[in-house]
Amino acid sequence: MKLELKNNSNLRSLFPIVEGPDYSEDRVDYYDVKKLMEWEERYKELLNLLEDRENQEVTELLFELAEEGYPEARWLLSDMYLKGERLPESFEKAVEWDRRAKYAEGLLHDKGLNK
């Protein structure tokens, strides 16, 4: 059996390229050791606050740290969404934060700051 294309052998018209989601992040394009150390300190403080009490303000600070690009904060948000701890249970948001954490972790490896 022979396949005959009637569109001038243009496979692109038969199988159009579908644009996928944009996985780049404008806010996270560099890491320096000073910034990483600052994030570490803020993250440790937030973990202590999260253990002591349930506070919406602490969760908001965790989101801020994650938005700045700190991978550990992103992993924690992913876990919180997955387990429904302090945030509404959402598998979709857990996967999104997990993806963003992997992206940020990759930037650290690319810059040689995390071995």
Q: Quote the pLDDT of residue 64.
A: 92
Tell me if 69 sits within 8 A of 25, measured CB to CB: yes
Tell me if 77 sits within 8 A of 97, measured CB to CB: yes
CA 94 to each of CA 15, 87, 109: distance values in angstroms, whole numbers, following the listed order:
32, 10, 22
pLDDT in tens, 94-104: 999 999 998 88
Tell me if 86 sits within 8 A of 50, measured CB to CB: yes
Q: Quote the pLDDT of residue 109.
A: 61
Write the DSSP symbol of residue 86.
S
pLDDT tier at 8 (50, 70, 90 boundaries)?
Answer: low
How high does pLDDT run on average in the chain? 77
Query: Between these two residues, 42 and 26, which has the higher pLDDT value?
Result: 42
pLDDT in tens, 27-78: 555 567 788 889 999 998 888 888 766 677 888 899 999 998 888 999 999 9
| pTM across the whole model | 0.61
Q: Quote the pLDDT of residue 115.
A: 45
| Residue 21 in this model has a pLDDT that exceeds 70 | no
Q: CB 66: neighbour CB atoms within 10 A?
A: 23
- Residue entry with tokens 């243009």: 10
